[in-house]
Structures are given as C-alpha cells and as structure tokens.
Structure 1
Amino acid sequence: MFSDWDILQPLWLLLTPLILLLFGRRIRTDAPWPNLMHRERIRYPLYGELAHEQPEVANVQPHREGLLLFSLTLFTLALAQPVIFRDSIELPDQQDPVDLVLLVDTNITMVLKDYFDGEQSIERMSLTKELLSEFVEGFQGNRIGLSIMGNPPFHWLPFTDDREAVRHAISRIRLTLGGRLSDMSASLKLVSDHYSTDLNPVVVMVTDSSMQLGQTSPQTAAKSLADAGFTLYVIAIGSTELSQEQRARAGFVYDPVDLSLLDEVAKAGAGKLFHALTRDTFEEALQTISSEQRRDKRSIQRLSLVEPLYPWLILIGLALLILAFTRRGG
C-alpha cells in the first residue's frame, strides 16, 4: 500500500508555463523545426522543373507538435522528482548524540575519607575515579573529554571515542594534580572555550566545592557555559555532617560539602545537582545523568522507503522524442 505521494523539487514545475508559451509562439509564427539529420541531395538537371510540378511537403509534421509538447512536459515532471513514500523503518541507533566532558576536582580536600564500606573508609578521590571509570565503560554517547579542576585548570584529555584511553586517563588522576586549591569558575570557562562540538554537550562536574578561588563567581561561569549550549550536572562528593567517630576516621581537617553553592551552580548551568552521600547514591547519580540524556536528547530516527517515479518519466519522454523526429508525417 502506498502511504503518500510527494514532489521533491517542486520549483521545476514553474517551467511548465514556459513550455506552453514556447509552443504557442511556435504555432503562431509557424516556425520550422530544425532538421536533426542531414538530407541526401540528388543532382539531376531537371530537378528544378520537377520540383515546381510536385506538391511541397510540409516542413513541420503535425504529429510532432503533440509529441514534443508531451515529452518536454514529462521531462519537466522528471526534474521535479515525483516519488512515492512507502512504509518507514526505524534505524538502529546504539549511540546517544552526546559529547561528554568530565570535570574532576583534585583539590586537597578530596583526600578526606568520609565514605564507608562497612568498617573500611574510602577516600573521596578513590571513589570518584572508580565510579567514573565504570560510568565511562557503559557510556553509550559519542565522545568523552576529561579536564582537571584546579588552580589553574587544564585539559587532561581532549574529546575521544576511545573508552580505554579515557579510563586510563582517569586512573592517572592524582590529588593536587591541579594544585592544592581549585578555581571552579576558571574550570567551567575552560570547558566552554576549548571543547567544541555540534552535538548535545554535557558536563559532569565532580567536586566537594571546598577551598575555591577565582575572581568570577562559579554561578556566572555556569551561566556562560549554559549559554554556549552545554548542560551542567554537578555531583557533590562528600558528606555534610559526620559523627564524631566518623570525623576521626575521615582524617585531615574535615570540610563538609557546600550544597547550597553547588545547587546554584547546577541551576545556572541548566542542569541538576546530585549529592553523593554514599557510594550507591554516587552510582545512581551517574546512571540518572545517562538515562536523562538518552530520554531527553535522543531522537528515534526513521527512514522512509521511497520509490522514485522520474526514471519512468524520462524513459517515456525520450521514447516520444525519438518518435517525433523519426516518424514520417502523412
């Protein structure tokens, strides 16, 4: 069953009135059609006298008019490319149209061990590297880039579709790699300036928001990032409060995560804030980010099966054109 008809290049149909005007003027002026074949000439002394005695054969054969008009009309329709749309099929698409930038904080407070697996305490940085590596392995998007949030920030890995290279780069991240403190606003500006993409760019920033520097507020930098087309998701790592026993086990000088600041930054970046209170919530945050991009940004691609009609029009038009100049008129 045919589902629809369409003309892909309808502007060519504007030639139809010109064809009609051409034929109308030709008929009014009785202009001869050009001879496409060389006529044989017979040399005979009395040819001139015989020519006066025989009736003249009309140079323009009447049947040519209709055949030529019909063939030129068919050629015009062929240029307009008429097609029949049949049933469409869904194209398999295993890749989301997303380019992802991972922005990882390496300031000194990422050494805090305020995550616990039973009796074992886990360092913020160690947990971040482990879960990001797992996230990258299952990432179904296009490319991944990696930047270090520091003072100053810097690129750790440009956009690449090599998942193994990204996991290797994550494994090489170390505490204070970008300095003991961080400049969040400069880090966000670096992403906006250096990661160029035509797809849906997403930034996942993992930070505990501690010891931030910078003359520009992180909210302003996040707003500029959103204006550049990026979506910023913030994963706040670290607890807001601990028991006295946990504080003692965490080590260093305990510094809780500033959720209020990070929430404002995420909203300014047209994204969301996730607080990774535990290992499980950290992992859930990454899964939620992945699923939201797949649901909101991914579109189902469908391919319509098209049957072109213009080859038939060209063949019929050529047949009529040949017939017009080969058939003898009566």
Structure 2
Amino acid sequence: MIEFVYPWLFALTPLPVLIFWLAPVYKERKQSLQVPYFERLVDVTGETPQHGAVILNRKRLQGVFLLISWLCIVIAMAKPEIVGQPIIQQKSARDLMVAVDLSGSMAEQDFTNQRGQTINRLDAVKDVLFDFAKGRESDRLGLILFGNAPYLQAPFTADIHTWLDLLKESDIGMAGQSTAFGDAIGLAISVFENEQTEHRVLIVLTDGNDTGSKVPPIDAAKVAAAYNIKIYTIAVGDPEAVGEKKVDLAVLDEIANVTGGAAFEALNREELKQVYQQIDELEPQLFDSKSFRPRTSAHHYPLMVMLVLYLLAFTVVNLVFAYNNRKAKRLNETNIESSKDVL
C-alpha cells in the first residue's frame, strides 16, 4: 500500500494547464538575416514585409513528455511511502530482579555438579541461573549482589548476555563476608520504584542467615508487599549445618508468606532447577503488544521514471532529426542530379 506524506501538493497538478491558458506567449528578439536580394525574394514569394512574431509549434510527443514529467515531479514532492504489512512487537510487562548472596557462608561446599564433583553454593547458583536466564528472553532481568551491603550489579535490562557476564564475574566475599539480607530487599524496592511495570518479582538466593542488615528481613518484606513486590526465596545449602552456614528456613518462609510469594529449598542442583520451573508456572509471562507498519520512502521512483522518459524522448528526437537530415540530403542530391541531366 502506498501513502503520501503531503497529499495536498497534488493541487499543483493542473498548474501547467493554467500557465498555458493564462500566461502570455514567450517572446524572444533575434537578429534577422540580411540578404541583398530581399526585394526580389518578396516578389517571388508574394509575401508582404511586416513586423511580427513566430510561434514555435511543438510536437505532441514533447507535450506528452512535459505533462508526464510534471506529474512525476508532483508525485515526488508529495513524498510517497510504501507501507508494509503490520509488525507486532511483544514486550514483557514483568521486571524480574535476582538477588544473590555473596557472603562467606556461600563458600560452603554442599552441592554437586553434573559430573558428581562437589562445588560451593555460589557455583551451583550460577550454573542454574545461566539456564534460567537463557529462557527469559522476553523479560527484563536485574541483578543485586549482597554481603555486608547490597549492590546493584545490573539494572533491569533485556540484554541477557551482558547480565550473564556480570553474574559470572561475581565471587564470594566481593561484597563482604556478612549477609545483609534485609538491606538487599530494601535496595530491590528502590529499584522497582523507578520502573513502570506492575508485575514485580524478586528472587533471592541465600542461606537466609541475616547477620548484617540495618533493617530486619521480615520488616523489609512487609514494605515490599506494600509495593506489590512478590518475593520468592530459595534456601541454598544444608539446613543441618551449624553457625553462620546454617540455612534459616523460618525467615525465608515468613518473607515469602508476607509478600505472597513462595519459599523453596534447593539441596542440590536438580532441585534448584525444579525451583525455577515452579516459578515459571507461578508467574506466567505477560506481554504488552505494539503494532506498527514499516514505511519506506519511494519519492525517488517517479524521478527515475522522469529520467528514463527524458532519455528515451531525447533518443527518439535525435533519431528522427538524423533521419530527416539524411532524407533531405538525399533529396537535394537527387535534385542536383536532375538539374545536371536537364542542362
């Protein structure tokens, strides 16, 4: 389908006709050819000398070419655009923040990888987050790392590859050895407040043993619930451990209940995968659809048509002119030969 940006310019289409009717005939002064036998030429032709003008008679082909050329110029000025088929873009209406605990307790090696090797809690979290993030191409992911204090490692972004690189660079203890769990929730609330989406999800991977927060985790969860943020807590590690390495399941359960989320335990890598599958089921993806039609300017096409017509007309006129010259030359040669025969 073709649409014009400035369709009102088509009002200029009859302009050549108006000029032909209303404008005066073009006049040009030229010097005459003087001949010594002018009077004799007048007697022979029978014409009476007088002042006047000669109106050049153009051929129909020239008139047709001029009209088509003007129409092409008007079409080009109206700026035609080729409108393509509707394209629908789907944008996720959900912001999903992931908070990862980097405290010293995450160094506890109580997970096994696919090869059966014993790995620490953070490495297990990274492995599953890689698989989880690759399946979230329609969501915007954010990343918070927390230890003694929380830090926004990655704001909400649809660039999953960059998000994964930032996660890969994180390491145990880079944010401190303590666990500021409640402060991490507070930072997530602040980040969500600067976004426009209504569907807000916070996934926290931690042992739940808060040792350094200024705001208790449960109090922070109550504030998050007021801001319509659901928190899914994932207990990483062995609940039978002692000291700071022990997983505080009671706190994680309470946080999930306050915000309307859910609490999970992940004692191994396979269980951790199941946790993310359950989160996918609990929070189905929601989309905002936008439809638009791509537009491609086509103003150069009528100009190309005009150029082709000009070259074609120029070629035809020159061929006709050359043909007439040859014909006249042959006729003159014939007349000369006839005159010689008479003499």
Cα deviation, residue 54, structure 1: 8.6
Gaps of 5+ in 1: 1-5, 90-95, 227-231, 240-245
What is aligned with 1:103? 99
Residues 32-63 of structure 1, C-alpha deviations (whole Å, 9 max, x = no match): 57x9xxx996563479x999659743258484
Output the TM-score relative to the length of structure 2: 0.53
Residues 169-207 of structure 1, C-alpha deviations (whole Å, 9 max, x = no match): 24x22498263443134321564599x9xxx99864324
Cα deviation, residue 102, structure 1: 3.5
Task: Specify the SS of the correspondent of 2:172.
Answer: coil
Name which of 233, 238, 248 aligns with 2:235: 238
**Which has the larger Rg?**
2
After TM superposition, the structure 1 = structure 2 runs for residues 1-330 of structure 1, keeping only pairs within 5 Å, are 6-8=1-3, 10-20=4-14, 22-31=15-24, 44-45=33-34, 53=50, 56-58=53-55, 61=58, 63=60, 66-78=64-76, 80-81=79-80, 83=82, 102-106=98-102, 126-136=120-130, 139-140=133-134, 141=137, 146-156=143-153, 161=161, 165-166=165-166, 168-170=168-170, 172-174=171-173, 177=176, 179-182=178-181, 183-189=183-189, 191-192=191-192, 204-207=203-206, 210-211=209-210, 213-214=214-215, 217-221=220-224, 234-238=231-235, 249-252=240-243, 255-256=248-249, 257-265=251-259, 273=262, 275-276=264-265, 278-279=267-268, 280-287=270-277, 296=286, 312-320=301-309, 323=313
Cα deviation, residue 277, structure 1: 5.1
Q: Is contact 1:7–1:80 with CA below 8 Å preserved after alignment?
A: no
Report which stretch shifted further, 177-186 or 289-298: 289-298
Cα deviation, residue 154, structure 1: 2.0
* Higher RCO (CA < 8 A, seq sep 6+): 1
Gaps of 5+ in 2: 321-343
Task: Specify the SS of the correspondent of 1:44.
Answer: coil
Q: Could you say if the C-alpha distance between residues 298 and 109 of structure 1 is closer, same or farther in structure 2, counting changes exceeding 3 Å?
A: farther
Q: Distance in 1 between matches of 2:94 and 2:51?
A: 84
Q: Could you say if the C-alpha distance between residues 308 and 180 of structure 1 is closer, same or farther in structure 2, counting changes exceeding 3 Å?
A: closer
Cα deviation, residue 168, structure 1: 4.1
Cα deviation, residue 16, structure 1: 0.6
Cα deviation, residue 275, structure 1: 2.1
Q: Distance in 1 between matches of 2:283 and 2:24?
A: 69
Q: Could you say if the C-alpha distance between residues 238 and 288 of structure 1 is closer, same or farther in structure 2, counting changes exceeding 3 Å?
A: closer
Code of the residue aligned with 1:214 in structure 2: it is: V
Task: Specify the SS of the correspondent of 2:13.
Answer: helix
Task: Specify the SS of the correspondent of 1:214.
Answer: coil
Q: Could you say if the C-alpha distance between residues 109 and 135 of structure 1 is closer, same or farther in structure 2, counting changes exceeding 3 Å?
A: closer
Code of the residue aligned with 2:18 in structure 1: it is: R
Q: Is contact 2:99–2:204 with CA below 8 Å preserved after alignment?
A: yes
Task: Specify the SS of the correspondent of 2:215.
Answer: coil
Q: Is contact 2:13–2:74 with CA below 8 Å preserved after alignment?
A: no
Task: Specify the SS of the correspondent of 1:258.
Answer: helix
Task: Specify the SS of the correspondent of 1:250.
Answer: coil
Q: Is contact 1:234–1:273 with CA below 8 Å preserved after alignment?
A: yes
Q: Is contact 1:12–1:77 with CA below 8 Å preserved after alignment?
A: no
Q: Distance in 2 between matches of 1:178 and 1:222?
A: 28
Q: Could you say if the C-alpha distance between residues 83 and 28 of structure 1 is closer, same or farther in structure 2, counting changes exceeding 3 Å?
A: same
Q: Distance in 1 between matches of 2:48 and 2:285?
A: 86
Residues 278-328 of structure 1, C-alpha deviations (whole Å, 9 max, x = no match): 4334212335667999965599x9999x9997655333323455749x969
Output the TM-score relative to the length of structure 1: 0.55
Q: Could you say if the C-alpha distance between residues 320 and 55 of structure 1 is closer, same or farther in structure 2, counting changes exceeding 3 Å?
A: farther
Cα deviation, residue 13, structure 1: 2.5
Q: Could you say if the C-alpha distance between residues 31 and 13 of structure 1 is closer, same or farther in structure 2, counting changes exceeding 3 Å?
A: farther
Residues 209-229 of structure 1, C-alpha deviations (whole Å, 9 max, x = no match): 5545439844545776x8xxx
Q: Paired residues, what number?
A: 281
Q: Could you say if the C-alpha distance between residues 180 and 261 of structure 1 is closer, same or farther in structure 2, counting changes exceeding 3 Å?
A: closer
Q: Is contact 2:233–2:255 with CA below 8 Å preserved after alignment?
A: no
Q: Could you say if the C-alpha distance between residues 40 and 187 of structure 1 is closer, same or farther in structure 2, counting changes exceeding 3 Å?
A: same
Task: Specify the SS of the correspondent of 2:178.
Answer: coil
Identity of aligned residues (%): 14
